[in-house]
Structure 1
Amino acid sequence: MKKYFLYAVSGISVGELFGLVFSLFFSYLYNLKDYVPSAPTFTDHFSRPLNAVLVSVILWGMMGLVFNFGALIFNIEDWSILKRTIVNFIIYYCGFTPLAILAGWFPLNLINWLVFTGIFVMIYLIMWFINFYAVKQDLKKINRKLRQ
């Protein structure tokens, strides 16, 4: 139980760190006078900017939870890599998409959803291939050491 609690704390922390960094980046990128945690369509729903920040922090933490716990799928050794990848993708997509919509990252309509999905798939594939390559290199090192 302690392991999962620490996993949750880690996921929340990483999610909030990424959310903060990205929101600061975009606040500077758009040369805004004041910090905003998300798009104006999101922050306009709140009577106080502080409330928008609080809800954003909660959403970022939940995003971190989705990604941290979704990664646990790859610890299931009885499953093939294909099955783990498909289940991991489904968890990430189904967990992250509603949170991204709630965070106001894109308006909910067919075109924006398709663009979001395309970007999500592209980023997922890039990350999957990077991880696949890293694991492949680690296996080569292990095999070399075993041969010595």
Structure 2
Amino acid sequence: MVSKLVIRIFGGFGVGAVVTLLALVLFNDNGDTVSAHLIALNLLGSMLIGGYFSVSALLFEIEEWSMLKQTLIHYTLSLIVLFPVFTLLTGWVPLNPHSLLIGLLFFTGTYVINWLGWFTYFKQMEKRMNASLKQRN
């Protein structure tokens, strides 16, 4: 179990680092100068988010929990863990009520869209598996 966690954490760090690198390459104007400190904070933020999501996905492997329980715990933990990264570490979401509300709405909307996508995917997979079983009988 420990090796699985380590692999997930470092895999998430890698994805976060690649996302930051792509953002730097794609969205940096040739005339822009960015401090190494700012790049490091954004890189660290992306890596922490990647590591968190890689590990937190394990919640969805707890078969004793309903999908609703898994989702609510994952969403709540995501807000608790990611809030300091989004606000204090990287400054991606400024610490004022208006920005925090917009950030919360954007995060929640993205979360719901992602959840609905996975829900739809697994429902389709369930239908195909049931159809396959019916053909066998």
TM-score w.r.t. length of structure 1: 0.81
Q: Structure 2: how far apart are the matches of 1:8 and 1:113?
A: 27
> Aligned pair 1:143/2:133, yes or no?
no
Provide Cα deviations, 1:6-37, integer angstroms capped at 9, x if missing partner.
1111111112222333344443xxx462254x
Residue 81 of structure 1, aligned match among 60, 63, 67 = 67
DSSP 3-state at the match of 1:87: helix
Contact 1:66 1:91 in 2 (8 A): no
After TM superposition, the structure 1 = structure 2 runs for residues 89-128 of structure 1, keeping only pairs within 5 Å, are 89-101=75-87, 102-128=89-115
CA offset digits 1:67-101 (Å, max 9, x no partner)? 11121111011011111010010121211221011
Query: What's the TM-score, normalizing by structure 2?
Result: 0.87
For the aligned residue pairs, the C-alpha RMSD in angstroms reads 1.7
Partner of 1:55: 41
Kept after mapping to 1: 8 A contact 2:20/2:43: yes
The answer on 1:34 being equivalent to 2:21 is no
List runs of 5+ in structure 2 lacking aligned partners: none
What is the CA-CA distance between 1:147 and the residue it aligns to? 1.6
Count matched residues. Answer: 133
Q: Could you give the per-residue CA deviations for residues 93-116 of structure 1, whole angstroms, max 9, x where no partner exists?
A: 211221011211121011110010
Letter in 1 for 2:126: L
Which SS does the other structure have where 2:31 is aligned?
coil
Which residue of structure 1 aligns with residue 5 of structure 2? 4
64 and 16 in structure 1: CA distance in 2 versus 1, 3 angstrom threshold: same
Contact kept, 8 Å, 1:24 with 1:35, in 2: the verdict is: no
Which structure 1 residue ranges, 5 or more long, are not aligned? 37-48
SS at match of 2:91: coil
Q: Which runs of 4+ in 1 moved over 6 A?
A: none
Cα distance in 1 between the residues matched to 2:5 and 2:71: 21
